[in-house]
Structure 1
Amino acid sequence: MQPTLSGNTAELTEHLRHSTVSGSRQIIGLVGPPGAGKSTLAGLLTQQLGDESAVVPMDGFHLANAIIAGTPLSERKGAIDTFDIGGYLSLLDRLKRNEEDPIYAPAYRRGLEEPIAASIAIPKSVTYVFTEGNYLLAKQGRWGKVRSYLDEVWFVETPPDIRIPRLIQRHIASGMEPAAAEAWAHGPDETNARYVESTKTFADLIIRWT
């Protein structure tokens, strides 16, 4: 059974310091269902670690709306096949080798709902790279290669009664009407959440995040 920790960032930072090989870059995956708080946790960890750390979101590899418009993918944006897995693997490989200074990564702009290329700079001096997303532990196709680049993967576990209302508010803040936001959170988001939950057993650590 995997060890479990709370979302206490001081405790998680101490865990990292004890597990880090001196002088080597560590890539830590934060995985969990939509609305679990992965981005928030990653941000809090970088506050603790300062310039030693950076966050690279998997969401920067969403397929652009121009690519999925008019296709069935637009009705389930956020599903595993609506991401550029090849691009994500290439970035993880570059981050792991750490031969460039800096390495640029894409971000995802909520509200615009689009990836923005080369908007995150990761200097060579960064020791801890947090990459967060839904499918880091997936075994499907090329997604199965993601785990080989990650030193640890933490599954962020949040109760549905916190996670789902948070998702609805996120969608509303991004411009959805309340009814559409609720339908999306209980529809495509929950379909993706069930898939992500099925990968939890492959995580190194469970983070109870409330």
Structure 2
Amino acid sequence: MSPADLADAIRCRAVAAQGRYLVALAAPPGAGKSTLAAELVALLGQGAKAVPMDGFHFDDAVLIARGARARKGAPDTFDVRGFFHLLHRLRAEDEVAIPLFDRSLEISRAGADIVGPNDRILIVEGNYLLLNEAPWPDLAPLFDLTVWIEVPEAELDRRLMARWAHYGKTPAEARAWIDGNDMPNIRRVVAGSRPADLVIRQG
């Protein structure tokens, strides 16, 4: 399924929906969730908006206090309950401020974007939207459609090496971070996610 085909499928399903239509776009780290979400929003046009889960990263100060900074990006390093409440608000309220994660600063910025009353189709993207580990399954009833991006592990590794080089890590630092953090998360989410309604294959 191409991005254009996926956009058409979302559009057809959203026509009959009451209120906002929430699409869960899930995939492991490095799969290109943000890129595909932006492409879908462009293809869907006015009334579509991306909502990233990454704005709910716990701050480094919190992770350091919990001894979890070296595992940043693991399922328990997100404020999943805060994210859950955001999804409820997106269902019930016309205008909702959402946080965005600034990777260059490694920090979430509260109220960094607005979902307005004309934003009817929301592409919600994140690693763990389909993870079958508590409390993540509590999110399931809040999505109208679920989509999984499937990418071979070797391609995810290549993309992550390029990502961390872009953000200033040396090849050795990038390799250590991927092997110690990203790859365990990739394997956890691939093995432990529920099947999606639709699958798009890349790489």
Picking from 100, 124, 127, the partner of 1:107 is 100
Which residue identity is paired with 2:8? E
Given residue 35 of structure 1, which amino acid in structure 2 is its aligned partner? G
Corresponding residue number in structure 1 for 2:5: 11
Q: Is the 8 A contact 1:59 1:108 kept in 2?
A: yes
- Say if 1:35 and 1:167, in contact at 8 Å, map to a contact too: yes
Kindly state the Cα deviation for residue 70 of structure 1 after the two structures are TM-superposed.
5.0
Alpha-carbon distance in structure 2 between the residues aligned to 1:175 and 1:128: 35
Aligned partner of 1:92 in structure 2 is 87
Segments of 5+ residues of structure 2 without an aligned counterpart are none
**What is the Cα-based RMSD across aligned positions, in Å?**
1.5
* Aligned residue number for residue 55 of structure 1: 50
SS at match of 2:129: coil
Aligned counterpart, 2:114: 121
TM, length-normalised to structure 1: 0.91
Give matches, 1:160-179, under 5 Å: 160-179=153-172
The number of residues matched between the two structures is 202
Match of 1:147 among 140, 145, 157: 140
Q: 1:135 to 1:111 in 2, by over 3 A?
A: same
Aligned-pair identity in percent equals 37
What residue ranges of structure 1 are gaps of 5+ in the alignment? 1-5
Q: Is the 8 A contact 1:38 1:156 kept in 2?
A: yes
**Aligned partners of 2:46 and 2:178: how far apart in 1?**
35
Q: Distance in 1 between matches of 2:82 and 2:143?
A: 16
For 2:79 and 2:195, how far apart are their aligned partners in 1?
22
Q: 1:199 aligned to 189, 192, 202, which one?
A: 192
